[in-house]
Every structure is written in C-alpha cells, then in structure tokens.
Structure 1
Amino acid sequence: MTRAAGDETRRRVAIFTDETGWHTRKLKEALARRGFEGRCVDLEQCRFDTGAGPSGLVIPGFGRNLPLAGIVRGIAGGSLEQITKRLGVLHALRELGVPIYNDARAIERSVDKSMTSFLLHKAGVATPQAWAIEDAAQARRLLMRETAARRCLVLKPMFGSQGKGLQKVGWVSNEEGGDASGGQTVPLPDLKSVGGLAYLQRFIPQPESEQAPGFDWRVMVIGGRAVAAMKRVSPHWVRNVAQGARSVASPLLPALAQLAEAAAAALDMDYAGVDLVPDPASPLGAQVIEVNGVAAWRGLQKVTPFDIAQAIVDDLLARRLGVPLLVGAAGQVCQIGSGVTRSA
C-alpha cells in the first residue's frame, strides 16, 4: 500500500489497547516528544474487509490508511475465535510491512506459559522445571512423584496474568522457608476446572520473616537491553503488584540483567517484563519464572528515574523504523528532520 512521504498519517502510531489510562498517556506523551501522534485503538474494533481498500484491513482512526507502526499495550479477553481474529490483525499488519511492538508471534509465545517454559529451557535460561499435561492420570502420577520428594508445584492458568488463579499443589510446607517436614499434601483439582490442562511449575521457596518478607524481581528489557529493575515485596508467595505486592527500588545487578536479556531474546521480544525469583542454587542466583509480552510498568516507574515509555518509543523509532537520534552538545536529543527536541 502506497503512502505519500508527506502524508500526516505517516506520523501516526497505533497504540493497541482495550483500555486507556496511565500507560497509554505516557506512550502518547513520549511519541509527541518525538513529533509523532499516538492513537489508541481497540483490536476488537479492527476488522478484516477485503473490499474496503488495498490493505484489506480497517483500523479505526486511520481511514483507508495504515498506521506507521503499532505498540501493543493490551488485548481484551474473549472467545478463541475473537482472540484469533485480534491476533490475526497484528499478524496481517506485519505482513503489510507495519512494525508491531511486540508483534503477534512474540505475544503468543509469552501468553502461552508452556511455550515460554519450553523456549527458556531450549535457550538454556535458568527457569523452574515445568509441565503441561492434559491427561489427568499422568498429572496425578507426576504430582505423586513430586510430593514424595517433598516438592511443591504451582498450578497456573495457561493464559493467566497478574498473579490470578495460582495454586500450590503437592507438598506444601507450613511456612514457605520452613522445614520441609512440616506441611501437607495438596492434590490437583479436577482438570475440568482449569480448562482441561495442568500447567505446573516447580516452586522455588524463600526464607522469610515478618522483618524480611519474601520478594521477587521485575526487570524491564527494551530493545534487547535490561534498563530497570525493582523488587516486588510481599508476605504472600504471589508477589504481583496487582495482588498487593510493594514496588521497591532495586539495583539492576549484572546477573539479573543477563538472565532477563536472555529470556527476552529467547522469546524474540521487542520489550518484556521479566519476573525472576532468588535461587542461591542457580549459577546466577535467580531463575526466570515468567516473561510478559504486554508488560505493565507503572509500579516499576514509581521506583526508577528511567523513563520507560520514552525508551520504548525511542527503540521503536530507531530500531524498527530507522528514525535516528542526534545528541547535541547541550545534551539535547533531536529527531533528525523533525525539528522536535527533548531534554536528554
């Protein structure tokens, strides 16, 4: 599809989201600082229409044109058919030459926790052993073996997020960091209640107390580089900010950066929120438990001076669109040919 170089639509970037708020506002502001316009678009409202124009797609807010690029901020839940169509729109835009950040393939890899575990394992990234089993008898036999070894597993929804629906099964100690001899056996629920499939990940326990509650790390990776980190601190073993964990500033340790960058690369992501748990037995002192392809960063932004939204936009423009930056002697970062500047 041909678009004139001077057409104003060439400066419009679609922000795909099912809800607007803090994140979309920050992305719009970051785009505006570079001389581009961000327009929020719900993938639910996008449609295939092979008679509507050369592209065969209709993207609300863009008329017969296509966006210069797209940033995926959120995809609403729905039926298998609805999700397939929404991801199909992202696939189609890639086929039409529109860079999507992250594209549908990366999102599919990260949303499917079993594929995430497989790809991390394949790449040699430290991650807890995991299983995805549909056969209930096989799942029960696995749990019996793990329970006999006094191991705890975490049963997770295959497509869950924000720490919702997690359950401990197998040998669950009375205290997370306590003596493994004190605990109870928790059986698997009926697999029909969890979508007919058991995705199980071995639990990594941590010593903790009222004075020193447990934590994990969230590391943000943008353009292949770890840029910021925080601890998520909570007395509960589920340490998502959405579940009440506190965001605490944390240095971006070299080992954490190495693991997070390797995890994002394994899933071929433009940007990723990588969750890691401390593990003294692991060579780098931590293991990757999840890789988020549509990562929120509000909690992290509260505890770091690094401008995450601006970094996402700058990486999209420079690496995916070839729009370079110039750094002037006065510490100004200038978009070539735009006449737009911002403080570095």
Structure 2
Amino acid sequence: MIPRILVLNDTSEKRTRNLAASFRRRGAVAINMPLAALAFDTTSKSGIAIPGFHGALPDAVLVRSISAGSFEAITRRLGILHALGKLGVPVWNSARAIERCVDKSMTTFLLANAGLPTPRTFAVEGLEAAREIAARELPATPLVLKPLFGAQGRGIQLVRTLDDLPADDDVDGVYYLQHYVPRAGPPFRDYRVFVCAGKMVAMMSRRGDDWITNVNRGAVPEKISGADEERIAFLAIAAAAAVGADFAGVDIVPAADGNLLVLEVNSMPAWSGLQSVASVNVAGAIAEALLAFLAERRAAAAPPRPHRFTAPANS
C-alpha cells in the first residue's frame, strides 16, 4: 500500500516541491494543497472533505504553512487539524503544537516549565501593566518587545525607556516583553537548529550586523563548529519536546557570559538558509522520519502472527 501524505501549504515553493520529491523517492505520494481547501462536511464519511480524496483520509498530514486570515478562518483551519487528529490521522505538527508555538507567551511558559534556559519574560495586557514591568526591569536591562504572533524578526523593537513602549493600538493591547540577552557584536550571532522526530537534523549560525539575526534581514548562514554543538543540539531537542512539536526550528542565542538561552520554537519553519550550509537534505530527513513513524505505527497495529505448534519428534 502506497502511503498518501497530505502536505498543507499555501504555495508550491521550492521547499514544498522538494518534500514531494523526497516522499516519491521513498515510495510515497505527496499531495499539496492549502489548509483552507479542507472543509467540515457531515455528509462525508469522515466528516471532513478533502479535494481529490473522495471521502478517504490521508495516511498522514504534514503542515508546512497556514496563511493569514480572520480569527474565524484560523479557528476553523486549526479545527480541521484537531479533527484529523481525532480521526487518528497523524498530523505533523499537531494543531496543539502549532497553537503553542504561534503564541510566544505559551512557548516561553512551556520552556521555563520544562526547566530550559530562556530569558525572563512577561506578557500582559494594557500599557499601564507594561509600564509597571518596564519601570521595574529597565534599571537592570533593556527589554525586547515582540509581537505575540509573529515571525522572521518582524515587529521586534528594543525598549530602553518607558517612552519606548508603543500605544495599546500598536500592539493590539498585548505586550510581550523579554530581557535583552547581552552578547558579543557586531557582528551578532545566534543559532537555528532543525529538530525532527526527537533528533537534531541540522544547525547553523546566523551572523549579522543587526542584533536581530534573521536571514531575511540580511544575516548570513554559517556552519557551526566547536564544543557548543552538543549543548545546542540538546537544548533544541528538549525545546521541541517541551512544546510537543514533531519537527521544529529552534532559535538559541549565546549570551556574553557563555550561557545558551532558548528564544523561540517555530512549528512551521523555513529551511532554505539552513539548507545552504547543511550537509543533510532537510526535506529528505522529514520524509524519512514521517514514513518511519507510519511504518512503526502499522507494525504496532498489526495482529500478532499465530504460533504454530510443532509436535516433538518421536524418540
């Protein structure tokens, strides 16, 4: 039986095409479509209508991206992922893991709750509450203000004084404030680690003149070498486990005092920058891990073979 993998993505960009090719090389079929195309449909046998599946369900679902939309649209799309999981379809990453990672405050809570090193963080509503925190924390350190929902370094700003705090309307009333991590620079560096199925697949250093070291902001991907590799990999694997992610891009920053701190866990990570310096094919590693998971799942569900009794030979 040929496994059918549903890859949920809003574009057919290079990484998605590489995923499809990686599944094909391993004897599976990958079908790409946007999550918005799936529908709840009580006339369908499963209760979910998937274009081209004619009432059947995929063997697994891989979530590459979820496009922007209204609160209602995103709620419905995540509901589809929850429903697929309820029907027993493996979903990488699950709706629960995506929800945890999209909400930076929940990610930070789970990292700290797991005992992982992460900067001191506060998430509150209202400018007055944010000013109280800033007044208490700023004498010791600048603060980093991040959008609660955001990626690729967009909307991040450094808060050095109370006047640096934006108005409520500029942050939708929510202030996610994190201690700034002092580090050497410029150039500044941090680490991106790709984790899949509990293993480190690849890692890179991002070097940039800006303290926000995202590749899309001009940072340069570089290979990592040195004694920190093992520590970085350990933290990344533990961080992905803390949020329940089957695969993830984990951001780790090296502080000036030598400590490593986990900043974020991305449940829908890009890997073009990472692939440029990685010796492992990231798309291939994802396909390999997901198909191995399905094979183990089928083996565990298979009924045991009957024991054949063999009579002893006559003496």
- TM-score, normalised to structure 1, is 0.83
Pairwise CA distance, 1:170: 2.6
Pairwise CA distance, 1:207: 2.2
Equivalent residue, structure 1, for 2:85 = 94
Equivalent residue, structure 2, for 1:29 = 21
5 Å-filtered alignment, 1:110-129, equals 110-129=101-120
Pairwise CA distance, 1:318: 1.2
Distance in 2 between residues matched to 1:220 and 1:190, nearest whole Å:
36
Residue 43 of structure 1: which of 31, 35, 40 is its match? 35
Equivalent residue, structure 2, for 1:293 = 267
Deviation sequence 1:65-95 (CA, Å, 0-9, x none) = 1111111000001111000011111111111
Residue 262 of structure 1: which of 234, 238, 251 is its match? 238
Residue 152 of structure 1: which of 142, 150, 162 is its match? 142
Distance in 2 between residues matched to 1:76 and 1:17, nearest whole Å:
8
Equivalent residue, structure 1, for 2:173 = 196
- Contact (CA 8 Å) 2:236, 2:250: kept in 1 or not? yes
Distance in 1 between residues matched to 2:208 and 2:29, nearest whole Å:
39
- Contact (CA 8 Å) 2:190, 2:252: kept in 1 or not? yes
Distance in 2 between residues matched to 1:46 and 1:19, nearest whole Å:
15
Deviation sequence 1:284-324 (CA, Å, 0-9, x none) = x3101010000111110110111111111111111244279
Pairwise CA distance, 1:257: 0.7
Pairwise CA distance, 1:159: 0.8
Structure 1's unaligned 5+ residue stretches are: 1-5, 172-184, 325-344
Deviation sequence 1:102-161 (CA, Å, 0-9, x none) = 111111110000000000000000000111100321210111112222x11111111101
> What one-letter code is carried by the residue in structure 1 that aligns with 2:166?
P
- Contact (CA 8 Å) 1:168, 1:186: kept in 2 or not? no
Distance in 2 between residues matched to 1:257 and 1:232, nearest whole Å:
16
> What one-letter code is carried by the residue in structure 2 that aligns with 1:18?
D
5 Å-filtered alignment, 1:262-281, equals 262-281=238-257
User: 1:208 and 2:185 equivalent?
Assistant: yes
SS at match of 1:38: strand
- Contact (CA 8 Å) 1:153, 1:170: kept in 2 or not? yes
5 Å-filtered alignment, 1:75-94, equals 75-94=66-85
> What one-letter code is carried by the residue in structure 2 that aligns with 1:98?
V
Residue 136 of structure 1: which of 77, 102, 127 is its match? 127
Residue 277 of structure 2: which of 303, 310, 319 is its match? 303
Distance in 1 between residues matched to 2:52 and 2:33, nearest whole Å:
8
> What one-letter code is carried by the residue in structure 1 that aligns with 2:86?
E
Pairwise CA distance, 1:11: 2.4
Equivalent residue, structure 2, for 1:163 = 153
Distance in 2 between residues matched to 1:90 and 1:320, nearest whole Å:
18
Structure 2's unaligned 5+ residue stretches are: 299-315
Equivalent residue, structure 2, for 1:331 = none
Percent same amino acid among aligned pairs? 45
Pairwise CA distance, 1:219: 0.6
Aligned CA RMSD, in angstroms, stands at 1.7
Residue 232 of structure 1: which of 206, 221, 237 is its match? 206
| Aligned structure 1 segments of 4 or more residues deviating by more than 3 angstroms | none
- Contact (CA 8 Å) 1:234, 1:246: kept in 2 or not? yes
SS at match of 2:296: coil
- Contact (CA 8 Å) 2:184, 2:256: kept in 1 or not? no
Pairwise CA distance, 1:262: 0.9
> What one-letter code is carried by the residue in structure 2 that aligns with 1:29?
A
- TM-score, normalised to structure 2, is 0.90
Structure whose residues are more often helix by fraction = 2
